[in-house]
Amino acid sequence: MISQLFILSSKGDLLIYKDYHGLSTNSNAADGLYLKLSSLPSDQAPVVMEHEGGHFLHTRHRGLYFVISIRPDDSPFMYLDFLNRLAALIRDYCGDLSEAVIRLNFALIYELLDEVLDYGFIQTTSTDVLKNFIQSDPVVTKPFSLLDLSSVGLFGAETQQSKVAPSSASSRPVLSSRHPQGDQNEIFLDVIERMTVAIGANGSLLKADVQGELRLKNFYQSCPELRVGLSEEFCVGSSELRGYGSAVRVDSCQFHESVKLDEFEISRILKVLPPQGELTVMQYQISDSISTSLPFHLFPSLERDPGSSRLRIYLKLRCDLSPKSQAINVRVQIPVPKGANSVSQDLSSPDQSAELTPNTQSLSWNIPRIRGGSQLSALFKVDVSGCFSLPSVLDLPPLNLSFQVPSLTCSGLQIRFLRLRSERPTPIHTWVRYLTQSDSYSVRLG
């Protein structure tokens, strides 16, 4: 049973709050809870914690904290699934998930919560069921520039050639049938891969893992069976080589319970009857056996100016993608010594920027886009109050790199086709998008 529900922004602002049992007359518990969450590294924060005598459980989506308080004897697994499903519902009905989206659609979200939870007990999280009861219309924000196909060109038809979708297509809400857009028969499939890479100070590769998923977004009401054709060379575990092309090998693979696998072993075809809304069809993992080269190599150099308290940081970033590909939203997070108070910079192009954040002891180098085969450099001179030694600087945390690479999968996985088994002559539009992004991409300094 859920007692309280919070949705907090990345800065701790209280966006949504529900108290189902009158245990608290205000939401001040959220402030202390946020301080506890934000004081821990994002990859180490426990999902269940005790605060002021209460038991809280949280998940994080797009920088937002979804938090609930539960009884000590409740099993957390059902509620974890509920929080993930709640985030997916907001994406379904509002088109996206961000702080701005929640602020604009708070009335719709409260209406969703009234239907999903009854006095703290979970009722339903089905998009198909809820669309019959939700009356509020979503306020749609301008989609993120990654989906602006005029500049990036992410979507394509089965052959990935010339068929493209409007820039806002995959980020608009799933509307009910009373809306004029609700009868559009469109299905989007995202192949999203997240890389976890660790590189030693000598440039050696310490770790390279990939977490991938096939995420389906369905706008088609009463959708018939959908057939998803994967690469014929797709292998799971130590399976023998398949097909005639380069093998696409993954270490493990999990499917949604609605996926039928009777044609998977022979033809690498998934069959699914998708509900309206968002569905993760398949998840897979690759550990330390990526078939392609790493997309980036970062070469850092740190030295202290003689006779001064200034640290010189020289960075060279090489993009090893194909010249036909490009990475966007690239950011290098550089740790700096305690006491760093100012920085001067010399960047290789005017569209780049840098920002020093003393309270987090970090320096950000921001690159809007970088094309494959190119190389960028940056020189930073950081003034540090007090004394420091170069050996102590080399004990700083690793550099971290974040990025997005559209139209590319590092595993090599491709979608051969999306086909619907339907007897009705209804025009149906299917689209596929590929995206590789960083989960953790670190380079050690010493």
CATH number, domain with residue 96: 3.30.450.60
Structural domain includes residue 343: yes
* pLDDT for the residue 284: 94
Does residue 316 sit in the same domain as residue 180?
Answer: no
CA distance 299 to 438: 18
Structural domain for 98, as ranges: 2-130
Burial 145-183 (b: 16+ CB within 10 A, else e): ebbebeebebbbbeeeeeeebebbbbbbbbbbeeeeeee
Does residue 277 sit in the same domain as residue 209?
Answer: yes
Does the pLDDT at position 41 exceed 80?
Answer: no
Structural domain includes residue 69: yes
Question: Other C-beta atoms within 10 Å of 416: how many?
Answer: 16
Give the contacts of 266 (CB within 8 A, at least 6 positions apart).
Answer: none
pTM above 0.75, yes or no: no
CA angle 434, 332, 283 (to 5 degrees): 30
Closest C-alpha among 87, 66, 148, 125 to residue 404 = 148
- The domain total for the chain is 3
Does residue 323 sit in the same domain as residue 216?
Answer: no
Does residue 170 sit in the same domain as residue 258?
Answer: yes
Does residue 391 sit in the same domain as residue 435?
Answer: no
Does residue 47 sit in the same domain as residue 106?
Answer: yes
Structural domain includes residue 140: no
Structural domain includes residue 139: no
Beta strands across the sheet bearing 353-357 = 252-255, 277-287, 205-218, 186-199, 429-443, 399-406, 326-335, 362-371, 353-357
CA distance 9 to 65: 6
Does residue 288 sit in the same domain as residue 302?
Answer: no
Look at residues 102, 130, 158 and tell me which one is the last residue of a structural domain.
130
Structural domain includes residue 138: no
- φ/ψ (deg, to 5) at 77: -65, -40
- Residue 364's pLDDT band, with cuts at 50, 70 and 90, is very high
Lowest mean pLDDT among 30-34, 70-74, 95-99, 286-290: 30-34
- The three-state secondary structure class of 113 is helix
- Please compute the mean of the pLDDT values over residues 258-284 and round it to a whole number: 91
- φ/ψ (deg, to 5) at 225: -65, 135
Give the contacts of 316 (CB within 8 A, at least 6 positions apart).
Answer: 298, 299, 375, 376, 377
Structural domain includes residue 68: yes
Does residue 304 sit in the same domain as residue 242?
Answer: no
Does residue 18 sit in the same domain as residue 53?
Answer: yes
Does residue 265 sit in the same domain as residue 353?
Answer: no
Please, are residues 38 and 32 in contact by the beta-carbon 8 Å criterion?
no
Helix (H) or strand (E) holding 304: strand 296-304
Q: Where are the beta strands (DSSP E) in 130-201?
A: 186-199
Does the pLDDT at position 75 exceed 90?
Answer: no
Closest C-alpha among 428, 405, 396, 345 to residue 191 = 405
Lowest mean pLDDT among 34-38, 152-156, 262-266, 359-363: 152-156
Does residue 159 sit in the same domain as residue 283?
Answer: yes
- Please compute the mean of the pLDDT values over residues 210-224 and round it to a whole number: 87
Does the pLDDT at position 23 exceed 70?
Answer: no
pLDDT tens digit sequence for 114-147: 889 988 888 888 887 887 788 777 877 654 444 4
Full DSSP string of 114-141:
HHHEETTEE----HHHHTTT--PPP-PP
* pLDDT for the residue 221: 75
* pLDDT for the residue 228: 94
Structural domain includes residue 432: yes
Does residue 333 sit in the same domain as residue 274?
Answer: no
Structural domain includes residue 417: yes
Residue 347 sits in a domain whose CATH number is 2.60.40.1170
Please report, rounded to a whole number, the percentage of residues in the chain having pLDDT higher than 90. 28
pLDDT tens digit sequence for 370-401: 999 999 999 999 888 876 666 666 678 899 99
Full DSSP string of 70-109:
E-TTS-HHHHHHHHHHHHHHHHHHHSS-SHHHHHHTHHHH
Q: At what angle do helices 76-94 and 106-116 cross, to 10 degrees?
A: 140
